[in-house]
With several copies, the nearest count.
Chain A
Amino acid sequence: MNVMTCGDPDEAVAGIEDGSTVLVGGFGTAGMPADLIEALVRQGATGLTVVSNNAGNGDTGLAALLDKGRVRRMVCSFPRQSDSWVFDRLYREGRVELELVPQGTLAERLRAAGAGIGAFYSPTGAGTLLAEGKETREIAGRTHVLEYPIKGDVALISAHRADRMGNLVYRRTARNFGPVMATAATTVVAQVREIVDIGALDPEAVVTPGIYIDRVVQVVPAA
């Protein structure tokens, strides 16, 4: 459907409901949609499930969202970082649930949600704590774990440039989770550094076609 170009991040996150599952792009701060997360903090939705590789750095972004008690549950691969003190505290106090997912399984479960795959068998994690309680199957002599899609109500991602149809290109390793999360949520919001005219992006180099994007907002990059 038609992409909405938003005037600011607050407009871009409008309407996110309490209890939503929100996919948040980024690996560390690369590709992290910082302005959208700050707007989500202001927007006020609570009881959220947040799916993101990490669980916040320092006191801003996801850490601020966590600190305000808006997150009921984190689904991530690597919550513990040198500066993840907000998550660490909430987790130890039992104030946030954690579903720990191996990084590649996280990416593949998001892809499955976007690709209409009902479930898949992966060798990752077989025989470990993270496969406990999961169905397994021997395939070609190897134990595989049955994994189900992770679908979001909303995805907040960051890209380098968008055109007015919502086609996106990323930059370097900031690409990370953006392209898969863009396929996996009902409403997908992208913050970008620049919005360009239709036809200005090389069709061979578009990474996320506009079909996946609902809202785009241009933000001023941090200095």
Chain B
Amino acid sequence: MTNPTSSPPPLVEHLDRGPLTEHEMAARVARDIPHGSYVNLGIGRPTLVADHLPDGAGVVLHTENGMLNMGPAAQDGQIDPDLINAGKIPVTELPGAAYFHHADSFAMMRGGHLDICVLGAFQVSAAGDLANWHTGAPDAVPAVGGAMDLAIGAKRVFVMMTLFTKQGAPKLVPECTYPLTGVGCVDRVYTDVATFQIGPGGATVLETFGIPYDDLAHRLGVALSRQDWT
């Protein structure tokens, strides 16, 4: 496998369309998951990625509560309280599944055996720091779950999020202001208006959706780079 994070492809500006919908973002992430990968999809929006993996992709889904080869969400007649995903949603089992306990499941994750995990985020820094577990609000009940293990465990960490908050604040930032989940752990950021690669030199824009690179760079308060066609 060649490592797609090593040398970014030339920038593509998709200006004939608007920002990606949630499902288009999920499809965009799915396109970057190599055949046969072992993948953990975080709770919430990243779960949608499963719906966009083509038949025969050979992708094996891990759920950190102790299973490989997890199938789609259970339909009415299939619901089994003993078979849930990390979001506690009833799911199904595919042929070739395996069950294991929590220490083994997180050993698998922490030991770097998962090829990719896809996570949501409040903020990602240009250095790849991730903040996705805690808003830092004083009255919030903090809860971390497996977020910190996922952030540092997988071979490649993909973040999937809208690029701006509802209030218009950028979520790709020079430094996270929310409490961190992991330091320097993010490899790619898939958003509605652009896809970023995070590397030693910071954030490189791979493509934009409905916005030219220069406008994007202007809206974000982060140093960006781009690879031009040569």
A residues contacting B by CB (< 8 A) are: 1-2, 27-31, 53, 77-81, 84, 87-88, 91-92, 98, 100-108, 110-111, 113-117, 122-130, 143, 160, 163-165, 167, 170-180, 183, 198-199, 201, 203-204, 206-207, 209-212
Contact = CB atoms under 8 A, between A and B. Distances in A.
Interface stretch (B11-19, B61-69, B201-209, B219-227): B61-69
Contact of B141 (A91, A115, A211): A91
Given A2-B58, A102-B147, A104-B106, A173 B99 contact: yes
A80 B143 contact: yes
B88 A28 contact: yes
Interface of B: 1, 34-38, 58, 60, 62-69, 80-85, 88, 93, 95-103, 105-115, 134, 139-149, 152-153, 179-183
A100 B144 CA distance: 7
Q: For the complex of A and B, list the 10 residue pairs with the smallest distance between their C-beta atoms, beginning with the closest.
A: A104-B106, A116-B110, A199-B95, A115-B107, A104-B149, A2-B36, A127-B183, A80-B143, A206-B98, A107-B102
A80 B1 CA distance: 40
A29 B81 contact: yes
Contacts of A92: 139, 141
30 contacts: A29-B81, A30-B81, A30-B83, A30-B88, A78-B143, A84-B141, A100-B144, A101-B144, A102-B145, A103-B64, A104-B110, A104-B149, A105-B106, A105-B149, A114-B107, A116-B109, A127-B183, A128-B179, A128-B181, A143-B183, A167-B96, A172-B83, A173-B65, A173-B82, A175-B99, A176-B102, A180-B103, A183-B113, A210-B98, A211-B38
B171 to A, nearest CB: 18
B143 to A, nearest CB: 4
B106 A199 contact: no
B143 A126 contact: no
B179 A203 contact: no
Nearest to B114: A211
B103 A108 contact: yes
Contact of A80 (B84, B141, B148): B141
Contacts of B93: 172, 203
A30 B82 contact: yes
A211 B60 contact: yes
Nearest to B130: A128
Given A165-B60, A173-B63, A183 B107 contact: yes
A172 B142 contact: no
B155 to A, nearest CB: 10
B96 A124 contact: no
Contacts of A53: 102
